[in-house]
Amino acid sequence: MRCPIGVGNEAEVLVAYTTGAMTPAEQEAFELHMAECAGCRELAGAQKSVWGALDLWKLPPVSDQFDQKLRARIAEEARLPWWKRQWSTLSHPGFWFSWKPAIPVGVACAVLVGAFLLHGPAMHPAMRNAAPAAAPAAVQGQQDAQKVDVDEVERALDDMDMLKQLDAPASAPARAPEGS
């Protein structure tokens, strides 16, 4: 038999051995292996002591009124208004712990929505007065007006430069002739 510790299935083999779930042939092979392997012998001893302690443990007796008390508590919870039942769920410590990772995400989303609403794009005055059916046409007209041809802008800047150069000598103060 290969050593269960080396194979990595020692827990399964030890539980099967200590609970008696092994076939007699498997049990005999494992006992022969334990005679040679100190690690398996030690683990089997520890597992047997655990199962022995569990066999000695006695459950505490359940009170005679347990069922009656449980039913009374369930009925009492059912009589509460719905909002008190929800509040008791929210005030349970485990409830908030499970939502703890989602709280910062929710706060961040609320801040983003608030920022968008406060600093979002302003509506064009023509759009405020336009009828809802005319809104798509007005939006299209506004988009067409905003389209800019780069070549036209470049030509306009060149024209402005030429006008500045032509205007510069004319706007210079006239000098009085020297000699007069």
What is the 3-class SS of the chain, one letter each residue? Answer: CCCHHHHCCHHHHHHHHHHCCCCHHHHHHHHHHHHHCHHHHHHHHHHHHHHHHHHHCCCCCCCCCHHHHHHHHHHHHHHCCHHHHHHHHHCCHHHHHHHCCHHHHHHHHHHHHHHHHHHCCCCCHHHHHCCHHHHHHHHHHHHHHHCCCHHHHHHHHHHHHHHHHHHHHHHCCCCCCCCC
Q: How far is CA 178 from the centre of its chain?
A: 85
pLDDT band for position 168 (cuts 50, 70, 90):
low
* Residue 168 dihedral angles phi and psi, to the nearest 5°: -60, -50
Q: What's the pLDDT score for residue 180? A: 47
Longest dimension (CA), the chain: 137
Would you say the pTM of this structure is higher than 0.75?
Answer: no
Mean pLDDT of 76-96: 74
Q: What is the mean pLDDT of residues 51-72?
A: 89
Confidence of residue 69 (pLDDT cuts 50, 70, 90): very high
Choice among 132-136, 144-148, 167-171 with the minimum mean pLDDT:
132-136
Residue 134 structure tokens: 């005319």
Domain assignments of the chain as residue spans, ordered by start: 4-56, 67-96
Give the C-alpha distances (Å, rounded to integers) separating 77 from 66, 74, 84, 100: 17, 5, 9, 27
Poorest-confidence range of 27-36, 87-96, 167-176?
167-176
What percent of the chain stands above pLDDT 70?
71
pLDDT on residue 111: 93
Q: Is the pLDDT score of 17 beyond 90?
A: no
